[in-house]
Amino acid sequence: MDLGLDVAERNKFAVLSVRGEVDVYTAPKFRERLIELVGQGKHHIVVDLEGVEFLDSTGLGVLVGGLKRLRSHNGDLVLVCTQSRILKVFEITGLTKVFSIYDTVEAATDPNSQN
Amino acid sequence: MSEVVELEIPARPEFVALARLVVSAMAATDAALSDDQVDDLKIAVSEACTNAIEAHGAVGADVGVRLRCWSDERGLRVSIEDRGPGFDPSILPEHPPPTDPDRLKFERGLGIPLIRALVDEVEIASSGEGTEVRLAMWHATNGRH
């Protein structure tokens, strides 16, 4: 099982598209990629979860850690997700109130948006 | 108890996906469980196996994590057993509310709350010799939905 992590630039954002299953085995690779982006000065990151087939609390932990890291740089981490089975874990854990979640990468990277 | 599927996975992260696969395949044989229930059960199994593997790591237990899965007239049941140090499930740490900036200090501890929210019944029996998490997903009254 491999985790796809592709990075693209859009407006002032780095867009990290995640594909595959995020669990205790693949989460370290996801965390490292986020830390690497922050280290490169990317402080406004969109994580696109549309290609994610499975995500458990280990993946949530990576996202919470990423957001904390970016906030400390006056940045932000926002999500793109429309899949109900993925959104459900954010809802149960109350994290829908922590993350801004958009329907599309275009909406998340809109230079006129609040983020 | 009939038609039990048993699996012992090495206590390593790369085998959690295998546990999910086996349990979801077993759940798919039960037509009275909905696709959403199978998805929820996969997450719960993943959380329980992740905790079990970490528990083995904490004590250096060189044995596998044992899963059992079976159906009965009410639904599907899964048991995940580890040989870790055990914990008291009644005193899990509480996170600050989502709107509290301190919420971001907590990257862990969401596994057990997620399990409790996703499956219909959870029993956790823990002692100094290990933990058994028993999950149950009941048949939806109206069948597949």
Per residue in A26-70, pLDDT (tens digit) is: 999 999 999 999 999 999 999 999 999 999 999 999 999 999 999
Tokens of A107: 């909406």
Tell me the CATH number at A60.
3.30.750.24
**Confidence band, pLDDT 50/70/90 cuts, at residue A115:** very low
* Predicted pLDDT of residue B142: 46
Tell me the chain A residues in contact with residue B104 when contact means C-beta distances shorter than 8 Å. Answer: 64, 67-68, 71, 98
Which one is predicted more confidently, B106 or A90? A90
Domain span at A55: 4-108
Would you say residue A115 lies in a domain?
Answer: no
Contacts with B111 from chain A: Cβ below 8 Å: 56-57
Q: Tokens 């028993």 map to which residue?
A: B134
In order of their start, the domains of chain B are: 5-138 (3.30.565.10)
Indicate whether A44 belongs to any domain: yes
Contact B17 A64 (CB under 8 A): no
Cβ pair B23, B78 in contact under 8 A: yes
User: Which member of B16, B36, B98 has the closest CB to residue A24?
Assistant: B16
Query: Is residue B92 very low, low, confident or very high in pLDDT (cuts 50, 70, 90)?
Result: confident
Residues of chain A with Cβ-Cβ distance to B43 below 8 Å are 54, 56, 89
- Residue A114 has a pLDDT of 55
Number of domains chain A is built from: 1
* Consecutive H or E run containing A26: none
Q: Is residue A113, in this structure, part of any structural domain at all?
A: no
ipTM: 0.92
pLDDT at B47: 97
Q: Which of A56, A62, A70 to mutate to test the interface with B (most CBs of B within 10 A)?
A: A56
% of chain B exceeding 70 in pLDDT: 94
Q: What are the residues facing B134 on neighbouring strands?
A: B79, B123
Lowest mean pLDDT: which of B20-29, B47-56, B136-145? Answer: B136-145
A114 falls within a domain: no
pLDDT for B88: 81
Report the residue of chain A nearest B110, measured CA to CA.
Answer: A57
pLDDT band at B2 (very low <50, low <70, confident <90, very high): low
Q: Which of B134, B119, B126 is nearest to B43 (CA)?
A: B119
Q: Predicted confidence band at B144 (pLDDT cuts at 50, 70, 90)?
A: very low
Residue B107 has pLDDT above 90, yes or no: no
- A54 lies in a domain? yes
CB atoms within 10 A of CB B95: 18
**β partners of residue A45:** A14, A77
- Judge whether A46 lies within some domain: yes
Residues of chain B found within 8 Å of residue A94, distances taken between Cβ atoms: 95, 97-98
For residue B40, which residues of chain A lie inside 8 Å, CB to CB? 88
The pLDDT of residue A1 is 63
Which of A24, A62, A89 minimises the CB distance to B43? Answer: A89
In this predicted structure, what is the pLDDT of residue B145? 42
B99 near A CB under 8 A: yes
Output the pTM of the full model. 0.92
**Mean predicted lDDT score pLDDT of chain A:** 95
Angstroms from A55 CA to nearest CA on chain B: 8
Query: Residue A18: CB partners within 8 Å, gap ≥ 6?
Result: A3, A4, A5, A30, A47, A48, A49, A51, A52
Assess whether pLDDT exceeds 60 at residue B61. yes
Q: What is the pLDDT of residue A111?
A: 80
